[in-house]
Structure 1
Amino acid sequence: MTRQEIIDFVAGLEGVLTLAPRPGDDAPEVSWGDTFFYYAPDGVTPTNTQPFATVVTKNYPGDETSRLDRPDAFRVNMFAGKDVFVEWTGHAPRDLVGVEAGPSDDDTVIAHPVYGTVGWLAVVNPGPRADGATRQLLSAAYGLARSRYERRAD
């Protein structure tokens, strides 16, 4: 999967707001070139919630284990929630507290190197092995975000 295929897949889901910070907008420079997905059917960036998925293209401070400083490397991050996280990793998110993440393999579903402790999964450079899983996990993250939004709206 290419970055653009992932962006197109998620952006095509109903009610998704896609943010792609660039130089000149109000976003912090570190976020430029990355993509953030929110469930926001009104088209307004939510102020009280995190994105349900992101595509990052570079190492962030304290988050270097995915080695995103390689040419064309990127990582897809998605909120999985506890049950799906356990299904994929065999561990509850809280079990990772204090555990240092090792180098990330490409094309493999992993606990997010920084946010795994709160139920996030990730895939570095998704390819043929993780294509289906990546789409499935992005759809699940979307479903969770949509459910949270609808509960808040009631």
Structure 2
Amino acid sequence: MTIEEITAYILSNFKNVNITEANGDLFFMYDQEKMMPFATIVTSDNDFDSVSQLNREGFFRLNIGIDKASFINTFEGIALKKGIGAYVDSGIDFTAENIVMPHPFYGAMYWLCIVKPRKKSLPVLKNHLDVAYSLAVKRLK
């Protein structure tokens, strides 16, 4: 999948989505929300996050913020951790392609990620995006 395909899917399947771009990264927000995206696409390493080695040609990471129950269900067998960066040293290979995994830095807040997702992952990602979008809508109501 490409960044453009993911963006097109989100914009065509969820109402009132705004995209903010910063340094090549995309932040998908519901309606007038300005601070808390429900999904992001990160396109390069930065000073705070280089564990996925996104500076490789054609690499990016889709990040999706879900709820606790979905997180536990998705990562059955992986212990919940607390704090920013909680999963960085968990033994997960955050450079691996097309594997849904806890976000290295925001997993403790129930964010998941996938580096360079392929089309066969779309059904799983759609479910996670549905959850994330629903949470975003609830936050603004």
TM class, shorter-length: 0.7 to 0.9
Q: Is 1:52 paired with 2:38?
A: yes
Correspondence for 1:6 = 6
Correspondence for 1:103 = 93
Q: Is 1:115 paired with 2:106?
A: yes
Find the partner of 2:81 among 72, 80, 94: 94
Deviations 1:85-112 (A, max 9, x none): 1111124643677441543211010000
**In 1: Cα distance, 2:114 partner to 2:79 partner:** 18
**In 1: Cα distance, 2:59 partner to 2:20 partner:** 20
**In 2: Cα distance, 1:19 partner to 1:110 partner:** 24
Distance 1:81 1:93, change over 3 A: farther
**In 1: Cα distance, 2:119 partner to 2:10 partner:** 18
Is 71-80 or 100-109 further displaced after alignment? 100-109
Report the TM-score when normalising by structure 2.
0.85
Letter in 2 for 1:85: F
Q: CA RMSD in A?
A: 1.9
**In 2: Cα distance, 1:11 partner to 1:117 partner:** 27
Deviations 1:8-34 (A, max 9, x none): 1112211111112xxxxxxxxxx3211
**In 2: Cα distance, 1:79 partner to 1:4 partner:** 20
SS in 1 for 2:81: helix
Correspondence for 1:136 = 127
Correspondence for 1:17 = 18
Q: What stretches of structure 2 of length at least 5 have no aligned partner?
A: none
Letter in 2 for 1:141: A
**In 2: Cα distance, 1:11 partner to 1:60 partner:** 26
Report the alpha carbon displacement of residue 125 of structure 1 after superposing the two structures with TM.
0.3
Correspondence for 1:28 = none
Equivalent pairs, count: 135
**In 2: Cα distance, 1:98 partner to 1:76 partner:** 18
